[in-house]
Amino acid sequence: MHMANVTEVRQNASKIIAQVLESGEPAVVLQRSKPVVYIVEASAYEEMLKKLEAAETLFRAEEAKSALQEIARLRGKMAQRGKQQDSVPLIRELREGEGR
């Protein structure tokens, strides 16, 4: 990975971009010896965005799965206690108008 400070980027931006495109490796821009910006190929950046979106979708799906498992666990616990009937038949009956 190529490293350049801000001054070098100002003076040699075209050269640094050409190196990134030629090598396929990103360049890091340093300011006061700390990384502040990476220069990457547009296609590599777009690919990173796609992967991030896919990871976020997977994370949301896993969260939903966990929530459904927790609901199922709680329903099972409630059914074992016998304190409350399953409300699904009642709701279905009311929705379909059979309860009138």
Predicted confidence (pLDDT) per residue in 1-27, tens digit: 889 999 999 999 999 999 999 999 999
Q: Which stretches of the chain score pLDDT less than 70?
A: 81-85, 98-100
Q: What is the pLDDT, as a whole number, of residue 49?
A: 96
Spatial separation of the C-alpha atoms in residues 74 and 81, rounded to whole Å:
11
CATH ID of 2-40, from 3.40.1620, 3.40.1800, 3.40.50, 1.10.260: 3.40.1620
Q: What is the pLDDT, as a whole number, of residue 52?
A: 96
Q: What is the pLDDT, as a whole number, of residue 99?
A: 47
Q: Where are the domains of the chain?
A: 2-40, 45-96
Spatial separation of the C-alpha atoms in residues 26 and 16, rounded to whole Å:
10
| 26 secondary structure, DSSP code | -
Whole-model pTM: value is: 0.58
Residue carrying structure tokens 């108008």:
97
